A and B are shown apart, each in its own frame.
Chain A
Amino acid sequence: MSEVLVLIDAPEGKVTKPSLELLTLARRIGEPSAVVFGSEVPSQLAEYGAEKVYQLDDAVYGEYLVAPKAEALTQLVADKSPAALLVPATTEGKEIGARVALATESGLITDAVDVTVAGDTVTTTQSVFAGNFTVDAKVTQGAPVIAVKPNSTSPEAASAAGTVEAVSFDVTDAGKGAKITSSKPKEASGRPELTEAAIVVSGGRGTGGDFSEVEALADSLGAAVGASRAAVDSGWYPHSFQVGQTGKVVSPQLYVANGISGAIQHRAGMQTSKTIVAVNKDEEAPIFELVDFGVVGDLKTVLPQATEAIVARKG
């Protein structure tokens, strides 16, 4: 079976759920080999099917933006001639993937939500134009480089050898152009990661700036909290929680929009959610065109009542 390279995200030694999904998808194409930058090799890699783990442990990868990782990965692709390279569809993952694809003259697909294989042909599915279309595409030159979005599949365990191979690489001076002079980790919210969560509860301008009802409902459901741009621009919630075209694109099992009108740019970030629920005091709000269930009412009373009922049911 041919080798498939998988770029792994493992902050603080913990493999992210989207990276486990990549390993799972890679098995449809061939034998996954994980690529990790850093000093730790998490055991989850072997538990989720990585036959090999290429470890690149060098401080340089954390000192400069994107280019050093892209150069090293380009070398690895040239050496191993994999059947495909899968990367996470994060800003960094996409930039690295694009540079490797350019250097190896291979086609690139970004933001795939599914990857299927028939014979030797790898087909990707993308959700485009604010989720209004699905597009099937394939790479026609080189080994496909595919950036895959979170929640594209469920991670499936499959134990494999996970043989670690240390890889060293001399980054060129040209790769050391964008120096990272400081890096402050974001504070953890204690809630699930927005793009990975099964349930997202969001608040918009209708919260009037107080997210406490939204957060309480989210916590009763074990959900992540999201926000509209109007809420973010007003300084009510950090930008990293913005859902939409210029924020995160989420596709959870359940999306609950509270005090959000449903502008096209917001829809672009949540329209492919499985089930959509909205609470809005304006019955004409466009968000109601999308919902499976909607409550026309004031979120300040509807949400606390719902939270209380959920807590009561859970006992």
Chain B
Amino acid sequence: MTKIVVAVKYVPDATADRTFTSDNTVDREGVDGLLSELDEYAVEQALQVVEAGEGEVTVVTVGPDDAADAVRKALQMGADAGVHVVDDSIAGSDAFATSLVLAKAIEKLEYDLVFFGMASTDAGMGVVPTLVAARLGLPAVTFASEVTVDGDTVKIRRDGDAATQEIEATGKIVVSVTDQTGEARYPSFKGIMAAKKKPIDEWSLADLGVEASEVGQDNAWTAVESYEPRPPRTAGEIVTDEGDGGTKLVEFLASKKFV
């Protein structure tokens, strides 16, 4: 019986016009949100582990009211239960506060393994998994492009820039997976119907024993000073190849001193 907790983030849709609000935080209301696509890979891997043996997958998210949608999507994919940590004081948290809340929530659950996506699709720092592991005092095997669970041992392959590594850990372990682990499934009709009956627990900071003074924008260890849209690119010159496209391309490169 393997109990896996998967941390999933609710993010603004990357194909919409993402922007900021007046307090320099991400606009999470004016833009449609969804389950971060990269976290679908973590849900998929967790489901595969459980399906190969016996077990249970619980998804947990920290986010505003609408973040329950991310949990629901994971339940539709096949996860068994969900936890939504929601509290007004969490808004604007930095990576440290987010990792604190997640670690406390995970501690409250029964688990053998904790799965994460490699990075969120909004801020994309890619550090929350390692921070949660540090807080829980667990080994972290991160950026896995392949995951094998064998009893209480997890083996991963990590395709780094300089080398491909095989990494192994035993016991309770934090794992983060990349999009190289394999396509995530779409929710089936049956899955969508079944998800309606699955529980989503709502927890507040008080339920986790976290103080409001430990989280939120005012207690972050970093502050955004200002943001600016990137100046639009000025329209370029487009030519249609009439047998001289390559030559024209090189003329352009030469005019910019690249050749």
A residues within 8 Å of B by Cβ?
A: 11, 65-67, 70, 90-92, 94-95, 97-99, 101-103, 105-111, 123, 127-142, 174, 177-186, 199, 221, 239-240, 245-246, 253-254, 264-265, 268, 271-272, 275-277, 279, 283, 288-298, 301-310, 313-314
B222 touches which one: A109, A186, A245 (CB < 8 A)? A109
Q: How far is the CA of A138 from the CA of B223 in the complex (A)?
A: 5
| B198 is an interface residue with CB less than 8 A from chain A | no
Q: How far is the CA of A291 from the CA of B95 in the complex (A)?
A: 35
Residues of chain A with a CB closer than 8 A to B227's CB: 128, 133-136
Q: How far is the CA of A177 from the CA of B254 in the complex (A)?
A: 54
Q: How far is the CA of A292 from the CA of B165 in the complex (A)?
A: 40
Q: How far is the CA of A58 from the CA of B145 in the complex (A)?
A: 28
Q: How far is the CA of A104 from the CA of B134 in the complex (A)?
A: 13
18 CB contacts below 8 A, A to B, read: A65-B141, A98-B130, A101-B221, A108-B96, A108-B125, A109-B222, A130-B14, A136-B225, A138-B222, A178-B140, A183-B165, A185-B162, A254-B253, A254-B258, A293-B237, A293-B252, A301-B245, A306-B245
Q: How far is the CA of A108 from the CA of B94 in the complex (A)?
A: 9
Q: Which 8 residue pairs spanning A and B have beta carbons closest together?
A: A177-B139, A305-B246, A297-B241, A107-B221, A306-B246, A98-B127, A309-B250, A141-B221
Residues of chain A with a CB closer than 8 A to B131's CB: 98-99, 102
Contact between B258 and A314, CB atoms less than 8 A apart: no
Contact between B247 and A297, CB atoms less than 8 A apart: no
Give B118-140 as 1s and 0s: 1 = Cβ < 8 Å from A's Cβ atoms.
10011111110011001101111
Interface 9-residue window, one of B65-73, B107-115, B166-174, B188-196: B166-174
Interface 9-residue window, one of B54-62, B202-210, B228-236: B228-236
Contact between A102 and B134, CB atoms less than 8 A apart: yes
Contact between B167 and A95, CB atoms less than 8 A apart: no
Q: How far is the CA of A280 from the CA of B121 in the complex (A)?
A: 27
Q: How far is the CA of A138 from the CA of B24 in the complex (A)?
A: 13
Contact between B163 and A183, CB atoms less than 8 A apart: yes
Contact between A181 and B166, CB atoms less than 8 A apart: yes
B236 touches which one: A140, A272, A291, A306 (CB < 8 A)? A291
Q: Which of B12-51 contact A (CB under 8 A)?
A: 14-15, 18-20, 38
Contact between B245 and A297, CB atoms less than 8 A apart: yes
Q: How far is the CA of A79 from the CA of B223 in the complex (A)?
A: 26
Contact between A138 and B225, CB atoms less than 8 A apart: yes
Q: How far is the CA of A98 from the CA of B222 in the complex (A)?
A: 13
Question: Given known contacts A128-B123, A177-B138, A313-B250, is B258 in contact with A221 (CB within 8 Å)?
Answer: yes
Residues of chain B with a CB closer than 8 A to A90's CB: 161
- Chief secondary structure at chain B's binding surface: mixed
Contact between B238 and A102, CB atoms less than 8 A apart: no
B15 CB to closest chain A CB (Å) equals 5
A180 touches which one: B166, B173, B250 (CB < 8 A)? B166
Give B146-183 as 1s and 0s: 1 = Cβ < 8 Å from A's Cβ atoms.
00000000010011111111111101010000111000
B227 CB to closest chain A CB (Å) equals 5
Nearest-neighbor residue (CB-CB) of A137 within chain B:
B224
Contact between B259 and A240, CB atoms less than 8 A apart: no
A264 CB to closest chain B CB (Å) equals 5
Nearest-neighbor residue (CB-CB) of A70 within chain B:
B134
A239 touches which one: B99, B159, B223, B233 (CB < 8 A)? B159
Contact between B221 and A105, CB atoms less than 8 A apart: yes
B224 touches which one: A130, A136, A199 (CB < 8 A)? A136
A210 CB to closest chain B CB (Å) equals 17
B36 CB to closest chain A CB (Å) equals 11
Q: How far is the CA of A188 from the CA of B162 in the complex (A)?
A: 9
A186 touches which one: B137, B145, B162, B179 (CB < 8 A)? B162
Name the residue in A134, A265, A309 with the highest tally of chain B Cβ atoms < 10 Å from its Cβ.
Answer: A309
Q: How far is the CA of A247 from the CA of B143 in the complex (A)?
A: 12
B226 touches which one: A102, A136, A185, A294 (CB < 8 A)? A136
| B249 is an interface residue with CB less than 8 A from chain A | yes
| B142 is an interface residue with CB less than 8 A from chain A | yes
| B185 is an interface residue with CB less than 8 A from chain A | no
Residues of chain A with a CB closer than 8 A to B20's CB: 133
Question: Given known contacts A91-B142, A199-B258, A293-B249, is B164 in contact with A107 (CB within 8 Å)?
Answer: no
A79 CB to closest chain B CB (Å) equals 20
Contact between B161 and A240, CB atoms less than 8 A apart: yes
Contact between A306 and B250, CB atoms less than 8 A apart: yes
B197 CB to closest chain A CB (Å) equals 34
